[in-house]
Structure 1
């Protein structure tokens, strides 16, 4: 039994030989009469006797936490043999005291383990929270907040290492201070060992500083006191930890300032706390790198989309900017859905990922026109210029043939009659002039019909008349002024394309879908191919390529169809047709609704919200500048061929 032991006993124990021996051994003896007199763990050993057991139940004595011993020991109490010598009794009491100390140590270890488990659970919770955060700014703020909570720190700062430029830099990204909240603006500084954060970043070394103002003079780093001086703060304890990624590269530095105890006094960061913050720094590094990697991938993908759209626009420079305008209009309309008066539209409101999916689909909706042959896209007239030249030659040859025929008739009259009647000569010359003028008029009519304009029924019959006009060929054979293929081309009622060529242009949506399906989209973007491919579908099933109807058409596609038609009508960059005034374009959209082609509720939201006047701009995907040509090449934009073309512009 040690001199520091404390033994409790009843008044009856006082004056016994054992009491005297314990007193001489320096053991602290305390007389008790009731359990309520004792504080928990105030005694190491309590010597029970009948008087104490009569005063309180055994459970009340057990609550005091001491090791219980008794001569006449009930269950759960260490027995003291009555025949034992005093030395043996003192040894047994010492054993009881040691048992108490072991129990106390066990309880302390259990509490420490429980605290450790609690810290571990906190770190798990922090890790889950960090991995779920998608916004980098909120992620960084959460890292500092959780770190301060784990360490009970008054302040914290976060630095990121930026190696993208010519010279690596340290970006002072964020700071938090509980006692002195201040407005903060991020700063850039050279990455050197002169600062604490720079030293930690360059050496991957953790610094645990007891007093930031008492850093040894031979240390390569110094504490920057400017913040303290400006706001009247006093930095004492400081723990700077490098954030290492999986390649053991430093991506940033965490600084925790002024650790506080329960009473609020500033204390140094101990090893247990440092270990927890070290684990947090590791989690933070992974979360930051993952977020930066996702941002880099997103920027890379945005660049790919921008390059793809640029390639599309280069195929058709006359409509450069169409895809970007349609994308902006789509996002502007989609953002009106949560405020739509119709409940079913509000239920289809798009989240951030769906808006991104719609934007990419709109930007790439015409990519398939790279599969349309060049001569179809650039077919400005119904007949190519070489065919028109051949027709000019055919008319000139026919006129020459008529002149030769008239001259032969005159020569024959001279030979037969020796003279030519003046009246007959004038008649023949008049007939020749009339026929030549008719051929010239036919040529003018052919050139007019060759323009990609709308043919009336009368124009169609007039072409039949021209086709039926017989002329001599170069080999004196008789042919029609127009061949069957030339007549068919000129008889195209709208535009300049044949049915086969129009079908080829319509297949651009199939090319778009097939191309976009080759891209391994993430789950959030996997609807892009079908959304983009359905932008020429119509509500009544008359669209292409699948003839989808009603709800079979994705909501994003129905939005895109409206925006696509609107831009095709109002675009001022088409050299082959004037832009339609906005109000007229809106009337056309409403007419398409009445025809059962467009979603009337979406068109109403589009018009009522006036979102077409200030469509959403996305700086990350601004339309690239397209070189302007002094003589733009005629091209058929694939979105010009819509049912709305039946409306006069």
Structure 2
């Protein structure tokens, strides 16, 4: 009970304080015979009221005080003067009352301004908090596939909307596109179609209470998916060069009937952050494409040194990525495997052409030199400036001839010492080598098998036999599960129809 009273007192302090002062002054007026000397005491509650209650309430309080004193003076004028006429008395009261009102108005205005300032500061703080919450996520995300849904989520939350759409402008095809739910997928629309198309074409901002009243609003989506678009705020996304790169559309405000001016100003600030995030993501994508293109060109150049190895690294990459996806590796691990596979044979540029291009079996010395190419691969790749997320590429690429039993080269590393990526490369590399023509013969143990592609049934038999010896058993099992897809990928090109058919007949 005591705590409840204390909370009530703190909450209503202003009113209680002003009331106490008014009662005190009233008591003074009642018990002091001559009131004129105590008129200035009324300044005290009025000044306090002006600070705590604002201008309007203060003005009302001042007028009530004046009426109170006027009534007192009328009923008991002798209490206010000695040897003074009634008219002089009321002139004094009027002068005093005017100053009282003036003081109340001045301080009331000051308090109102102070309250408005605090209100504006609170609103600004909330707006800054929203901007910070949105920017903290967007500025740190460069991957477009992750950034896209993040933008939608953050803006829906910040704008307190039921739904948000993000359209990207495709100038080359004169279209704009967006991603919706997985079951709907990607939607592409011509520029100029619908509300977003109009915004994309004109650059104007559209803010309406009911989108269905717009003549250019398409109801097709609403009718198809049982949705009702009401309030809508649609705004272009413009990059630093002034070029429109997308459109943001927020739909159905949850708190209120429509998006007001403050909402529009808030979205304008958020869209500026979205534009920066999208531009950074687009730039990163361009750099990634350029980087991968350079790596693929370098890889193809190494493979092209001999006609029989052309396309080898690319096929190994495809098989390795199929395995990686089959065992549910994440995107970052898949990216590491991709570049490791593309560059796993780059060390061959350090092998003499007389060995690398030799037609026929290697001598022991030539085999020893050829076996140095994984170590050369690591040496070369360590000089590359890989991004931090790809720092393991040199080591993984260098281990593609290691075996889980420790009998591989160049270091003779065993199972637990080998990264998962190199175990995947080992299977993919051997499969492609055995199913491709080579300038040196293939062997099954000590048995020489010839130079031509090995029958698929035999390749599968070798992979199974080497489970737990040369290869990681789990990787072999995963590869055999994706083998039909791998064969289909190169059916009629690397794998002739009859080559595949001979294998399928044995199943």
**Under a length normalisation based on structure 2, what TM-score does the superposition of the two structures give?**
0.67
Q: Provide the C-alpha distance between the structure 2 equivalents of 1:357 and 1:235, rounded to a whole number of angstroms.
A: 44
Structure 1 residues 156-555: aligned runs within 5 Å: 156-165=164-173, 168-174=174-180, 184-192=184-192, 195-212=194-211, 222-228=216-222, 235-261=229-255, 264=256, 266-267=257-258, 269-319=259-309, 322-324=312-314, 326-327=316-317, 330=320, 351-381=330-360, 496-537=361-402, 544-545=409-410, 547=411, 549-550=413-414, 554-555=418-419
Residue 142 of structure 1 and its aligned partner are, at CA, apart by 3.1
Name the structure 2 match of 1:576.
451
Q: 1:501 Cα shift?
A: 2.4
State the Cα distance separating 1:508 from its structure 2 match.
Answer: 2.6
Go from structure 1 to structure 2 and tell me whether the alpha carbon gap of 1:301 and 1:624 turns closer, same or farther (over 3 Å shift): farther
Alpha-carbon distance, 1:555 to partner: 1.4
Could you tell me which runs of 5 or more consecutive residues in structure 2 were left unpaired when the two chains were aligned.
1-7, 29-44, 63-79, 82-88, 439-449, 497-507
SS, match of residue 257 in structure 1: strand
Question: Is residue 44–residue 101 contact of structure 1 (8 Å, CA) maintained in 2?
Answer: no
More helix by share: 2
Query: Shift in Å at residue 42 of structure 1?
Result: 8.5
Partner of 1:396: none
Would the alpha carbon gap of residues 623 and 245 (structure 1) be closer, same or farther in structure 2, given more than 3 Å must change? Answer: farther
Q: Secondary structure of 1:248's partner?
A: coil
Asked if 1:114 is matched to 2:88, the reply is: no
**Residue 140 of structure 1: CA displacement?**
2.8
State the Cα RMSD in Å: 4.6
Q: Which residue of 2 aligns with 1:341?
A: none
Q: Aligned partners of 2:138, 2:25: CA distance in 1, in Å? A: 62
Separation in structure 2 between the aligned mates of residue 185 and residue 334 of structure 1, nearest angstrom: 25
Closer, same or farther: CA 152–369 of 1 in aligned 2, 3 Å: same
Counterparts of 1:543 and 1:587, CA distance in 2: 16
For the pair 1:151 / 2:159, whether they are aligned, the reply is yes
Assess if the C-alpha contact under 8 Å between 2:51 and 2:107 holds in 1: no
| Structure 1 pair 229–352 and aligned structure 2 pair: CA distance change class (3 A) | closer
Other structure's SS at 1:222 match:
coil
How far the C-alpha of 1:158 sits from its partner, in A, is: 2.3
- Aligned partner of 2:431 in structure 1 is 567
Contact 1:331 / 1:616 at 8 angstroms: preserved in 2?
Answer: no
Kindly state the Cα deviation for residue 272 of structure 1 after the two structures are TM-superposed.
1.9
Q: How many Å separate the matches in 2 of 1:186 and 1:138?
A: 15
Residues 206, 358 of structure 1: alpha-carbon distance in 2 compared, 3 angstrom cutoff: same
How far does the alpha carbon of each residue in 1:74-103 deviate from its partner, in whole angstroms, 9 at most, with x for none? Answer: xxxxxxxx9994221442244235423432
Correspondence for 2:77: none
